[in-house]
Structure formats: C-alpha cells, structure tokens
Amino acid sequence: MARRGLLLILTSPSGAGKSTLARRLMAWDPSLSFSVSATTRAPRPGEVDGREYHFKTREAFENMVKSGEMLEHAEVFGNFYGSPRAPVEAAMAVGLDTLFDVDWQGGQQIRNSALGRDVVSVFVLPPSIAELESRLRGRAQDSDAVIGERMEKSLSEISHWAECDYVLVNRDIDRAFADLATIVQAERMKRDRQPDLAGLVRNLNTEFSAR
C-alpha cells in the first residue's frame, strides 16, 4: 500500500549526538532520503561538496532564499545554513521519508511550512552539560573559542526541547538509536500516514457482503 512520506527532524545542541544518530538511521534504512544542507561556511578537512553539505557563497545562498528555494534557513555562528526545497519535494512525491539534521530554528520553519503536516520532530538532549562539553572537545574539530560559543548557545537551544514531538536523552548512543528507530517505525504505521487503508477496508467489507 502507498504511504505518505514523513519529514523526520532531528535537533539538539551541538555535541548531543544528533549527527551520529542520523548516520546510524541512514545505515539502518537506506531508503531514507537525507536532506543535505547548504551552507556558507568553509569545508572542513575531508568534507565533500554535495555529501556533507552543499557549500555556497554568501551571494548564492541569499539568492536561493530570495527565490524560495530554501525550505528553511538560519544564520549560526556567522554562517548561513539551510535545506534546499527541491530534493525534499521530489522525495515526498514518490513516498520517501526525508531526514533532517537541523537546529531548532530550522525545525520550526519546516513545521510551519506547507509540508508541516508530515513533520515528526525529535529533540536529542545530553545527559549533562559536562558530558556535552566533553563530546565537543572530543571531536577535535573546533577551537576553544568556537567550543565556548557552542556551549554558550546550548542553553538557548535546550530551552526549545518541549517544542518537539519526542525527546531522547542520549546517555548511551546504542540505546538512543534503538529508541529513535522505534519512533520511526511507529510513526510510519499511523493511520493517517496510510491513505490506502480506507480502500482496503472497503474491499474487505465488499468481500464480507459477497459471502
């Protein structure tokens, strides 16, 4: 039976584990379509344009926003990030689920968009602030100044936890992933995401009448 695709949004303060959970989810179900964000920040070592991000100049990014090509966008630490609209709509058109790794602002913009009825949002919390900082430092990707900015921003980001449909506390990445997979499976089975159910029930009733 046909099933409407859902837009699965993972959001969290930086370092809480949403990117790791997103990668695991994609490995668990390769049919998931990942929304590769566009950004104006410079690529980090090993990052490839079109894989981790679509790397754009500031002018090109702003032109995409003006022409309505972004489903959501925000400025974070002096750089723009956003989700191109076209790939998401193409996935939805063939019933594929789309996974977003965005901040709370992006999640709210997607929920408030024309595609908002198909949004399922999950907020990922760290077990403690000390653990959050430890994870950021363990990535060895950012300077002390950038880590300080991310930690300072975490308080504001965490305050938006109640705006999501589900909340996971990432004490253990394996447990958190198992819970996330359960959420996806349950959401896919919701009655209103299976538009062919009414037709099936009509057929069942017809079969009963013919007995």
Predicted TM-score (pTM) of this structure:
0.81
Strand ranges, E, within the chain: 7-11, 33-34, 38-39, 54-55, 70-76, 79-84, 98-101, 119-125, 166-169
From 128, 126, 130, 135, select the one nearest 169 (Cα to Cα).
Answer: 126
Domain at 182, CATH number? 3.40.50.300
194 is a domain residue: yes
Q: Do 9 and 15 touch, CB atoms closer than 8 A? A: no
| Neighbour count for residue 142 (Cβ, 10 Å) | 17
76 is a domain residue: no
78 is a domain residue: no
79 is a domain residue: no
- Give the C-alpha separation, 132 to 146, whole Å: 14
160 is a domain residue: yes
79-84 and 70-76 beta bridge pairing: antiparallel
Domain count, the chain: 1
67 is a domain residue: no
69 is a domain residue: no
pLDDT in tens, the chain (211 residues): 467 789 999 999 888 888 899 999 999 999 999 999 999 999 999 999 999 899 999 999 999 999 999 999 988 889 999 999 999 988 888 889 999 988 888 899 999 988 898 999 999 999 999 898 888 888 767 777 878 888 888 888 999 999 999 999 999 999 999 999 999 999 998 888 888 888 889 999 999 999 8
131 is a domain residue: yes
* Containing structural domain, residue 105: 7-36+96-209
